[in-house]
Structure 1
Amino acid sequence: MEPITFDYEYLHLRVDRGVFEQFGHHGSEFRVPLQRLGALVHFKKPDRPGKLLIGAVRDPNAALYGTDQSAFGYTTSPSFLVPPGDEPLFRVYFTEVAALADRRVV
């Protein structure tokens, strides 16, 4: 199976052989098995950009996307803000990843 990738500005996300990888600018990298992947675009205010959080969840039964912040054991944020209109692009990608991992999205 080919890797599943998503590129957005300087962010590159990739899933290959059960491992999620995040690459950003300045050489930032993050890897986690799909069973522990969690992702969320957290909006504090409805009309403002949200902060992208990607990390490892404590419970593998937690949602893969739309993860509750308290479910994370570790998060990384590449100082990346997502405009409200672009959040559906991330949702589509992480929904495909969740289906591959037999996990759910919120």
Structure 2
Amino acid sequence: MEAAEPKVFQHDRLYIQVDRGIVEVFRRSNVIGPYRYPLAWVTVYAEARRGGRIRLCFGIAEDLGEPVYGRVPNSGPVFFRHEIPAADEPLYRDFFTELAHLADRPIAA
């Protein structure tokens, strides 16, 4: 069986790659390095911020049945935060929806 190609999302300063069930998150920054977690554990929620911004909070799901993406804070620890313009949020939501399908997990409405 041939391995599937990695799933990649790149937008502005953020790069996310999913390969063989592992999510790697990179941000072009001199402060924070990459993060690497199993897709089955990752959850992301969006927080509305002032000035038309959204903060994406990447965390570890306490309950592996939690949605991959939503607007309600997850129950586990947050390992990474990234702010985006609110207008860009649908691009991220589409990618996280694909990840939810890969992980056989829900995505919140």
Provide the TM-score with structure 1 as the length reference. 0.87
> Paired residue for 1:9, among 9, 12, 27?
12
Q: 1:37 matched to which residue of 2?
A: 42
Task: Give, in angstroms, the shift of residue 74 of structure 1.
Answer: 3.1
> RMSD across aligned C-alpha pairs, in angstroms?
1.6
Identify, as 1 or 2, the structure richer in helix: 1
The code of the aligned residue for 1:74 comes to V
Superposed, which structure 2 residues align to 1:12-23 within 5 Å? 12-23=15-26
Q: Percent identity?
A: 31
Residue 49 (structure 1) aligned with residue 56 (structure 2): no
Name the count of aligned residue pairs: 103
- Unaligned 5+ segments in structure 1 are none
Q: Radius of gyration: which is bigger? A: 2
Distance 1:70 1:95, change over 3 A: closer
Unpaired runs of 5+ residues, structure 2, are: none
